[in-house]
Amino acid sequence: MAHPLHGRDFRLLFAARTLSMTGDAAVPAALALAVLRTTGSTSALALVLGCAMVPRLLLLPIGGVVADRFNARTVALVTDLVGCAAQLFAGLELLSGRAELWHLALAQVIGGTASAFQAPTISPLVAGTVEAPGLHKANSVLGTTNGATRLIGPALAGTFVLTIGPGWTFVLDSASFALSGALLAATRVRHVPIPHRSLRADLAEGWSEVRSRDWYWTSLIAHSVWNGASAVLLTLGPALAVERLGGEGAWIATVQVGAVGLVMGALLATRVHPRRPVLVANAGLAVFAVPLALLAVAAPAPLVIGTYGLALIGLGLLNPLWETVVQLTVPQQALARVTSYDWLLSLAAAPVAYALAPWAASAWGSSTPLMIAACLVAVSCLGTIAVPSVRNLQMPTTPPPTQPTPAQTPHAPAPAPAPAPARTSHNPAPAP
Residue 151: how many CB atoms within 10 A of its CB? 16
pLDDT one-digit tens code per residue, 77-134: 999 999 999 999 999 999 988 888 888 899 999 999 999 999 999 999 998 898 888 8
Number of domains in the chain: 2
Domain boundary among 191, 217, 248: 191
Q: What is this structure's pTM?
A: 0.83
Half-sphere exposure of 188 (CA within 13 A, CB side): 10
CATH of the domain at 1: 1.20.1250.20
- Does the residue 117 lie in any domain? yes
- Does the residue 102 lie in any domain? yes
pLDDT one-digit tens code per residue, 221-266: 999 999 999 989 988 888 888 788 887 778 888 888 988 998 899 8
Q: Which of 16, 177, 21 is nearest to 110 (CA)?
A: 177
Banded pLDDT at 71 (limits 50, 70, 90): confident
Residues 45 and 122 in one domain: yes
Residues 184 and 211 in one domain: no
Residue 375: how many CB atoms within 10 A of its CB? 14
- Does the residue 409 lie in any domain? no
Residue type, 54: V
Residues 283 and 359 in one domain: yes
Q: How far is CA 387 from CA 320, 379, 391, in A?
A: 21, 13, 7
DSSP state of 130: S
Tell me the residue range of the domain where 66 lies. 1-191
pLDDT one-digit tens code per residue, 277-326: 999 989 999 999 999 999 999 899 899 999 999 999 989 888 899 999 99
Q: Which of 334, 342, 27, 299 is nearest to 153 (CA)?
A: 27
- Does the residue 402 lie in any domain? no
- Does the residue 408 lie in any domain? no
pLDDT one-digit tens code per residue, 150-159: 888 888 888 8
Half-sphere exposure of 80 (CA within 13 A, CB side): 26
Within its chain, how far is the Cα of 88 from the centroid? 23
pLDDT one-digit tens code per residue, 353-377: 888 888 888 889 889 999 999 999 9
Please tell me whether residue 235 adopts helix, strand or coil conformation.
helix
Contact 235, 357 (CB under 8 A): yes
Residues 31 and 163 in one domain: yes
